[in-house]
Chain A
Amino acid sequence: DTAVSQTPKYLVTQMGNDKSIKCEQNLGHDTMYWYKQDSKKFLKIMFSYNNKELIINETVPNRFSPKSPDKAHLNLHINSLELGDSAVYFCASAGVRPRTDTQYFGPGTRLTVL
Chain B
Amino acid sequence: AQKVTQAQTEISVVEKEDVTLDCVYETRDTTYYLFWYKQPPSGELVFLIRRNSFDEQNEISGRYSWNFQKSTSSFNFTITASQVVDSAVYFCALSGPNQGGKLIFGQGTELSVKP
Interface residues of A (CB under 8 A from B): 31, 33, 35, 40-45, 48, 55-56, 58, 88, 90, 92, 94, 98-108, 110
Check if B105 sits within 8 Å of A43, measured CB to CB: yes
Chain B residues within 8 Å of chain A by Cβ, number: 25
Q: Specify which of B98, B99, B101, B108 is in contact with A31 (CB 8 Å cutoff).
A: B101
Check if B44 sits within 8 Å of A45, measured CB to CB: no
B-side contacts of A110, CB under 8 Å: 43
Check if B103 sits within 8 Å of A103, measured CB to CB: yes
Q: DSSP class of A's interface residues: helix, strand, loop or mixed? A: strand
Interface residues of B (CB under 8 A from A): 33, 35, 37, 39, 43-47, 50, 89, 91, 93, 95-103, 105, 107-108
A-side contacts of B105, CB under 8 Å: 42-44
Question: Shortest distance in angstroms between A1's beta carbon and chain B's nearest beta carbon?
Answer: 15
